[in-house]
Structure 1
Amino acid sequence: MTSTIRTFFILVAALALTGCAVPTVTEPETVAVRATSLNPAYSSINAQVLSDAGRVDSTFVASVDPKALTGTLTRLQSTYSQKLGDENLRVGDAVSSIGMWGTSVRYGGMQFGTRSETRDDVINSSRMATAGLAVLPTVADALFASVSDAGTGLNQRSLAVNRSLPSGSQAWNLAVKDALGHSESISAPMITRTRLAEEGCSDFSVSFGKVREDYALTSNSYGPTFANTTVACGAPLGFTIEGHGEYLADEVTAFGVGVARQLGSLGTASLAFAQSNAVSGGTGWMSKVGFDHTNSIFSLMVRSRFQSREFRDIASTALTDPIMQRDLASVGVQVAEGASLSVAYATQTTWARERTNLISVKQSLGLGRGTMSMSAGHSLEDNFGSSLFISYKRPFGVIRHTRPVLDEIEEFQLQLPQQGSD
């Protein structure tokens, strides 16, 4: 009981200090407190102060259980953000933005630009505790880590990935267990669409600060200096030219360019090339090619990555067995009205010749007022099995008719049943 009272007063004090950080404005501020997770062992609390001048946002995790390992109160992130015309200014804790390639990390510092969101395939969970540098993995990283024994970036950050049966209309299930043993359900595409820029260079993001360390394990641990810049320009003849660079003090510097173009009704093609200079690995190179096509009955997305043994980005500075080649593909077909079929394939080869192949098939069929779905996943490796899941969904009440497009078959996605925090 004493621990509960102490936690309550700490939260009230933190909220009061947060409110003091807002500049004086002519209209009253709005204060909002929200609990995204609430249980005796692990509770997440978010406090916001909103006004015309900007927004102050703070998130904490707390435990009212004296035996819990997380302590009484841990600060996750505190941020002041303000919109300046078309640009956004963020001071405090943020997540870096990336383009056709690169690494998203949590850091404390400054972020300015029009591109403030992470890429859709980046696993951006605000409550996931990680050891070491707070690097955010992609869905593809997590997928391959689920069938890898050791040596991946997730293992080094005390993250474990368990794959279970597919759920509902999704093709794969991944449960990521963080450094504190809490499980997090993931829902994100394995492949994201190529982002085309409008004419000019108004699509950009500049980040600078220090990388978070031991995120959600300690409140105020910051590591080496970090910088990240992404600029995408709409060029003549319909080309999008993108430049991306990232820097981690005493570790690695990487810079690259990407080119993308819409090829009429054929689809969108993209090509990226990057070079890195790492303290531990020397100079290396990486290239990525991609293609997207979508019409009313067919969808295709392909990504291929090739790199030298010496190439490093921030996510792979400590890897002993880096990627040599990674291929991702997703194909979807609208077979008939209310019926679709999709196939996803992922393969990866490392420089130690460790090869991983994964395949998933999903079929959906309208049946009465509901939808019947069948999902199957299989690893082509000898040490991993297969999975099959069949489900039926039927709405109750008034049905809102929506266009049965390729939303579920355009991209390879991961979805988990909601799990507890323990």
Structure 2
Amino acid sequence: MTSTIRTISILFSALALVACAAPQVSEPETVAVRATSLNPSYSSVNAQILSDAAKIDSSFTATLDPEVGVDTVTRLQSSYTQEVGDESLRVGDAVSSVGMWGTSVRYGGMQFGTSSETRADVIASNRMATAGMAVLPTVADALFASASDAGSNLGQQNLSVDRSLPSGGQGWNLAVQDALGHSQSIAAPMIARTRLVEEGCSDFSVGIGKVREDYALTSNSYGPMFANTTVACGAPLGFTVEGHGEYLADEVTALGFGVARQFGSLGTASVAFAQSNDVSGASGWMSKVGFDHSNSMFNLMVRSRFQSREFRDIGSMALTDPIMQRDLASVGVNVTERASLSVAYATQTTWARERTNLIALKQSMGVGRGTMSMSAGHSLEDNFGSSVFISYKRPFGGIKPWSRRVADEIEELDLQLPQSMQSVDN
């Protein structure tokens, strides 16, 4: 009863702070409280204290439902961030950086550098409860895992992906269910654009601490020591050279580098290589190649990954059937000023020769003052079906002129999964 009263007090206090935190027009905002979800069975609240050079951030979830099986109040993350010139120092909970390769994880400790944002294709929702080590999968990881059995990383974390939904040009929109049964729609591209930096080595991120475990299930569960670093340097002749490394105590160490360069109007090419050593002494390698091209008429993005059976990074330590090859590709075309067409294709082969092929098509066109979209997805595997979505969006109120849109690098794919995989209510 005492914990219930405390939870109600916290929720009402948060609401009061929301009302009090609305800033005056002439004054900067110093306190911000946001309730993403607020109901007796599941509430999520984030609070920030801001200044010109520092920020205190804290978020938590609360529930009055005794059947959920978690604490009444569960801390998600808390941190203090201080700006130090062009760099920032973060103490507390953070998400590790990745470059052209690597795995993002949640950890508690210290992070310092100029680059703190996660890569665009990483699913980094701070409300998704995960069992075990808090590894953040990419969109490609999630899509392929949804076609696999529970032995995948997502299955071990009690995360499941039911399908991808029309995203309105924001990439793949995944309906993900977490370890507590809460579902969330997450939009992200499957292929992140290649990053190029200016000359010098001013783009970096270094982190050290302890990896987070059972995120959003318990408040203060941390595992073994973790270290991560990413440094990107602008080299002569327009090259970007990147180094990345990640370490998890008594588990795995992986080091590698990447090189990228833009070749005029032809596009941007990239190549990366990494080597790993796990606790058993096994050593493996991984290589990635990519190409991006974009102009006013169309864009093209291609990524290919090859690796040995023994290669492991932090996100694939527990895999019994690792990736052998993964290929991702997308093409977007501006057919007319108000119409675009895009095609996305993804294929993966594991060392056990399990092969998965996914293909998607999307067409968008302006109709009156709105936009008509049609998207279709299909898998070449026997246990999947096909589906088609048609939607029409029209703004109300003030109408902004329709502006020409460059087709997004990846569009959505919808798959009819087997009944055993369908765990998110539609």
Asked if TM exceeds 0.5, the reply is: yes
Change (3 A) 1:52 1:368: closer
1:175-227 deviation per Cα after TM superposition (whole angstroms, max 9, x unaligned): 11111111111100000110001110000000000000000000000000000
Q: Distance in 1 between matches of 2:413 and 2:124?
A: 14
1:75-98 deviation per Cα after TM superposition (whole angstroms, max 9, x unaligned): 000100011111011000000111
1:286-336 deviation per Cα after TM superposition (whole angstroms, max 9, x unaligned): 000000000001100000000000000000011100000000000011111
Q: How big is the alpha-carbon RMSD for the aligned residues of Structure 1 and Structure 2? A: 2.5
Residue of structure 2 equivalent to 1:148: 148
Residue of structure 2 equivalent to 1:239: 239
Residue of structure 2 equivalent to 1:61: 61
Write the letter of the residue equivalent to 1:77: Q
- The answer to whether the aligner puts 1:215 opposite 2:215 as a matched pair is yes
Residue of structure 2 equivalent to 1:18: none
SS of 1:128's partner is coil
Residue of structure 1 equivalent to 2:419: none
Change (3 A) 1:44 1:171: closer
SS of 2:312's partner is coil
Residue of structure 2 equivalent to 1:409: 408
Write the letter of the residue equivalent to 2:334: Q
1:39-95 deviation per Cα after TM superposition (whole angstroms, max 9, x unaligned): 111101112222345211110100123443233100000100011111011000000
SS of 1:187's partner is strand
Q: Report the TM-score when normalising by structure 2.
A: 0.90
Residue of structure 2 equivalent to 1:161: 161
Change (3 A) 1:320 1:259: same
Change (3 A) 1:345 1:281: farther
Q: Report the TM-score when normalising by structure 1.
A: 0.91
SS of 2:154's partner is helix
SS of 2:319's partner is coil
1:258-307 deviation per Cα after TM superposition (whole angstroms, max 9, x unaligned): 00000000000000000000114600000000000000011000000000
4+ residue runs of structure 1 moved beyond 6 angstroms?
11-15, 419-422
Write the letter of the residue equivalent to 2:335: V
- Give the alignment of 1:105-124 within 5 angstroms: 105-124=105-124
Write the letter of the residue equivalent to 1:409: D
Change (3 A) 1:332 1:28: closer
SS of 2:401's partner is coil
> How many residues end up aligned between the 2 structures?
408
Residue of structure 2 equivalent to 1:334: 334
Q: Distance in 1 between matches of 2:28 and 2:144?
A: 50
Residue of structure 2 equivalent to 1:375: 375
How far apart are residue 5 of structure 1 and its match? 1.9
Q: Distance in 1 between matches of 2:63 and 2:113?
A: 36
How far apart are residue 405 of structure 1 and its match? 2.2
SS of 1:142's partner is helix
Q: Distance in 2 between matches of 1:33 and 1:397?
A: 29
Moved more, 30-39 or 189-198: 30-39
Q: Is the 8 A contact 1:192 1:411 kept in 2?
A: no
- The answer to whether the aligner puts 1:137 opposite 2:145 as a matched pair is no
Percentage of pairs with the same residue = 78
Q: Is the 8 A contact 1:331 1:410 kept in 2?
A: yes
Greater relative contact order (Cα < 8 A, sep 6+): 1
SS of 1:186's partner is strand
In the alignment, structure 1 segments of 5+ residues that lack a partner are 16-26
How far apart are residue 404 of structure 1 and its match? 1.3
Change (3 A) 1:164 1:101: closer
1:373-407 deviation per Cα after TM superposition (whole angstroms, max 9, x unaligned): 1100000001100010111112223221253121x
How far apart are residue 413 of structure 1 and its match? 4.9
